[in-house]
Structure 1
Amino acid sequence: MRRVWPLTVRGTGALVLAIACLFVANEAGVVELMYFGILLLAVVATSVASLYVGRRTDTITRSLVPEVASVGSEARVTVRVDVRTALPTAPGKWHDTLPKGLRGKADGAFPALGSGLRGGERGGARSVDLIYTVTGARRGVHPIGPLTVRTSDPFGLARRTVVFGQRTPVTVAPAVIDLPPLIDYAGATGGMLHTTTDQLGQGSDNLVARPYAPGDSMRRIHWRATAHRDELMVRQEEQESTPEASVVIDRAALRWSPEALRAPGADPGFEAGISACVSAVARLVHDGYAVEVLDSEGSVLVDRIDGGDMTEVDAMLVQFATLTARRDDALPHLARQFAGISTGPVVVIVGRLDPPDAVALAPIAHHSTLPVLLTAAPVGDAIDVAADHGWHVAAIDADRDLGVAWANAIGRGVHHVLG
């Protein structure tokens, strides 16, 4: 795309002056004005030709390092512009359009280029790399572009504006906050907790899957083995060296806000909950737990992540970049998902929490070695009610330090140990 009018204000003035000189020269018979007008027209024409003749910009490509940005973190964007020119070109300016989900300064000076024929490039092909830094501001997938490049001739009479319509989608993952470890609670897991180093190399190699039998919990279905065997397979009890944990995020929009249904990043409270969810998963996996990530309906959001497998944690962040809320409210029935099983830490993240909700969640606390409940909007004495039923509970929101809230949660409430 190019601007229709190629002249600057100076160039437009020169063109008007040239036409005026030709008109006056014709009326008054002044030959000198005729020569001057023709000279001005030649200068303007030459300026336009210097920008449009022998130069063509074909394509642009963008790359991001790291490939997935995250909220609050920086990423470097490199825009490669392929230019074909047989003549030297003047410097200019460029500007890359950033979406609301990214912040940064995406503009600068476009360099002057020498003749492509001088360096022996085929067809005068040249590449220009434009580099800038962006910061993730809003979770989701956001397109960068279009890129605008403006150049002018040495006299400032003509300009050329090229707008590249190509847009590059950039994934902005939720922020992962470094949470305090659970090492102090190793005894509560029956002596099963090991460091990440101990867990590396064990993972799925120690996992035994068997065919599904009536009465088996759906939460124990091993999806990879199911896909491989083409029949439902469930996990056998893992070796003592692989403790389990579960992280549950409530996605009911009525407990957050209607904006949480529309698009990622629209509801600050829901974003705090998403960040708490992925941060808890990262902490537990780092501490050696095999983690299941569910929503309040019992739906598996990502495949089970083995202890120490931080690569799968990174893959989870990409999936969570577009996670939104749901209309259905399944939180009062969440306890059914944990009926008849005993597990390690269970982390539940909810939006609004009232006392009846805390009572409905009470049975889960008695099936976990470390039940943690994080709420973005506690109502009344809901936190105290949850703590009385055995939860380690704390409030979270976009303005609070999640690390402090996590530390308060694991240090508050009655600590239940399975017998």
Structure 2
Amino acid sequence: MLEALRGLTLRGRALLAAGLTCVVASLLLGLPVLVRFGAVAAALPVITVVLVGRTRYRLGLTRRVSPEIVPAGTPATVSLTVTNDARLSTSVLLLEDQVSYVLGPRPRFTVTGAGRAWRREVSYQVRSDVRGRHVVGPMTVRVCDPLGLVRLGRTFTSTAPLVVTPRVRPLAPHPVGGASAGSGNQRPRSFTSGSAEDVTVRDYRRGDDLRRVHWPSSARTGELMVRREEQPWQQRATVLVDNRAGVHAGRGAASSLEVAVTTAASVAVHLAQRGFAVRLVTARGEEDGIAWHDHVAGTDTRALLEALAVLPTESGSRMATGWLTQPGHDGLVVAVLGALPGEDTGLLRRVRAAAGAGLAVVLDVGTFGPVPPEAATGPEAASLLTAQGWTATTQQAGEPVEQVWDRLAAPGARSARATSAPTAGTTTGTTTGGPA
């Protein structure tokens, strides 16, 4: 009842105050006829409070977001199913779903006369131009009487996640190389020759030919084992994203950091679809769960995109180097960098020396905003990387990723090594380096 009293609307409070004023004024003025009108006006909100406060609502809500992972700028559909399991019909219900401001305005619905076993399905769309992990919900229900005198609020606890990944641009299938767990090509290795001890086996999977069952291993382990007659050799690629705040400029979706994340996502998905085992490395080191041994080449890019969707901005001034001591960084390395401070040249030299091939995209931070102090950017930074053996190019604000990739990975761009640094006053968008 106390909650219902606190839920009196402005109309209900005004009617209650007017009724009490009328009663007091009629008694002071000696007009008993007005007492009836005042009593009726004051009693109406009180009766409404009692009825609404004693009403028990049994509302149910089921929420579904489809799809749960969408690229930035692509809408997702939120489907709601609202049910009423109470025996009595409800009055007016005002439904409002809580969503992040980047997903658009909060959707509102009005429901009248929800009777017993009532069920209603509604849907709306959300859309975000900013990557990130968002929560849709919870829903707030406001119960209002037909006269609008009392309004009570209830909140559901159910929510649903929505992951907005960076936009992925289709890139041209230029041949890029790098070391692999073998020769660097997706070639099968035969195991049909050799003794029984040389046979590589794996667990039996449904659908395997029974003629491939390796009985000695099955007897030793107690489970069916089959021969692996071929083993694919997989190319490896490391995508390095410099996400430090001090090397980027601009704000929002148009900042150099967001452009770098979009470029890295497009390159990572492109390489994974071409059969590379891709891992993601940021300024703080290798991202957990994004090592290439966790991926099925050409199919699994969801973990990569989810990691890039929530990639934070690092406040540190130095990039982590611990991942260089781990095995497997000798394949293809694609670095997406902002401005280039002087202390980063040693790290990037080590990365290039250990990599089988090195491609670098340097954001021309000066086209996004003020350039960080004491840092090389644009063609100057690309020239420094070229001197270290990288194949480097720059990316300016508003430049499509497809054009940058064509300059960086096209056979003509990688085959020609720059013979001299750019002359003073010359602004060139591409600087080629060592062979990839």
Give the TM-score normalised by structure 1. Answer: 0.67
| Secondary structure at the counterpart of residue 245 of structure 1 | strand
Deviations 1:133-192 (A, max 9, x none): 222354444444453333433233x1313141737363534313223132x326999994
| Secondary structure at the counterpart of residue 408 of structure 1 | helix
Go from structure 1 to structure 2 and tell me whether the alpha carbon gap of 1:275 and 1:370 turns closer, same or farther (over 3 Å shift): same
- Structure 2 segments unaligned to the other structure (5+ residues): 189-199, 202-229, 366-374, 416-433
Go from structure 1 to structure 2 and tell me whether the alpha carbon gap of 1:181 and 1:238 turns closer, same or farther (over 3 Å shift): farther
Q: Distance in 1 between matches of 2:307 and 2:170?
A: 21
Q: Structure 2: which amino acid aligns with 1:115?
A: G
Go from structure 1 to structure 2 and tell me whether the alpha carbon gap of 1:137 and 1:62 turns closer, same or farther (over 3 Å shift): farther
Q: Distance in 1 between matches of 2:409 and 2:94?
A: 54
Match of residue 237 from structure 2? 245
Deviations 1:94-151 (A, max 9, x none): 3233334x321222222113431xxxx4xxxx55545332223544444444533334
Go from structure 1 to structure 2 and tell me whether the alpha carbon gap of 1:38 and 1:298 turns closer, same or farther (over 3 Å shift): closer
Match of residue 113 from structure 2? 113
| 8 Å contact from structure 2 (residues 244, 315) kept in 1 | yes
Of residues 103-112 and 83-92 in structure 1, the stretch that sits farther from structure 2 once superposed is 83-92
| 8 Å contact from structure 1 (residues 256, 352) kept in 2 | yes
Go from structure 1 to structure 2 and tell me whether the alpha carbon gap of 1:91 and 1:392 turns closer, same or farther (over 3 Å shift): farther
Match of residue 67 from structure 2? 66
Q: Distance in 1 between matches of 2:20 and 2:329?
A: 92
Go from structure 1 to structure 2 and tell me whether the alpha carbon gap of 1:314 and 1:333 turns closer, same or farther (over 3 Å shift): closer
Give the drift of 1:283.
0.7
Match of residue 185 from structure 1? 175
Match of residue 381 from structure 2? 382
Query: Aligned pair count?
Result: 358
RMSD: 4.3
Match of residue 141 from structure 2? 149
Match of residue 12 from structure 2? 11
Q: Distance in 1 between matches of 2:413 and 2:343?
A: 18
Q: Structure 1: which amino acid aligns with 2:394?
A: A
Q: Structure 2: which amino acid aligns with 1:313?
A: T
Give the drift of 1:15.
1.8
Q: 1:308 aligns with which of 259, 283, 298?
A: 298
Deviations 1:390-419 (A, max 9, x none): 53333347754333333333248433557x
Q: Distance in 2 between matches of 1:107 and 1:351?
A: 39
Match of residue 165 from structure 2? 174
Q: 1:372 aligns with which of 359, 367, 377?
A: 359
Percent identity reads 21
Match of residue 269 from structure 1? 256
Go from structure 1 to structure 2 and tell me whether the alpha carbon gap of 1:250 and 1:331 turns closer, same or farther (over 3 Å shift): farther
Q: Structure 1: which amino acid aligns with 2:113?
A: L
Match of residue 155 from structure 2? 164
Q: Distance in 2 between matches of 1:191 and 1:92?
A: 63
Give the drift of 1:282.
0.7
| 8 Å contact from structure 1 (residues 355, 385) kept in 2 | no
Q: Structure 2: which amino acid aligns with 1:166?
A: T
Of residues 280-289 and 402-411 in structure 1, the stretch that sits farther from structure 2 once superposed is 402-411
Go from structure 1 to structure 2 and tell me whether the alpha carbon gap of 1:87 and 1:338 turns closer, same or farther (over 3 Å shift): closer
Q: Distance in 2 between matches of 1:144 and 1:297?
A: 30
Match of residue 26 from structure 1? 27
Q: Distance in 2 between matches of 1:4 and 1:45?
A: 8
Whether 1:97 and 2:135 are equivalent positions in the alignment is no
Go from structure 1 to structure 2 and tell me whether the alpha carbon gap of 1:34 and 1:91 turns closer, same or farther (over 3 Å shift): same
- Structure 1 segments unaligned to the other structure (5+ residues): 199-207, 210-236
Deviations 1:252-286 (A, max 9, x none): 554448x99xxxx8994333333332321111111
Q: Distance in 1 between matches of 2:120 and 2:334?
A: 49
| 8 Å contact from structure 1 (residues 186, 192) kept in 2 | no
Deviations 1:357-398 (A, max 9, x none): 567635755776753212234725111333455533333477
| 8 Å contact from structure 2 (residues 83, 119) kept in 1 | yes
Q: Distance in 1 between matches of 2:171 and 2:125?
A: 30
Match of residue 307 from structure 2? 319
| Secondary structure at the counterpart of residue 56 of structure 1 | coil
Q: Distance in 2 between matches of 1:143 and 1:81?
A: 19
| Secondary structure at the counterpart of residue 131 of structure 1 | strand
Q: Distance in 2 between matches of 1:308 and 1:144?
A: 31
| 8 Å contact from structure 1 (residues 147, 164) kept in 2 | yes
Q: How does 1:222-241 map to 2 (within 5 A)?
A: 239=232
Q: Distance in 2 between matches of 1:104 and 1:281?
A: 29
| 8 Å contact from structure 1 (residues 136, 172) kept in 2 | no
| Secondary structure at the counterpart of residue 78 of structure 2 | strand
Go from structure 1 to structure 2 and tell me whether the alpha carbon gap of 1:173 and 1:90 turns closer, same or farther (over 3 Å shift): same
Q: Structure 2: which amino acid aligns with 1:244?
A: R
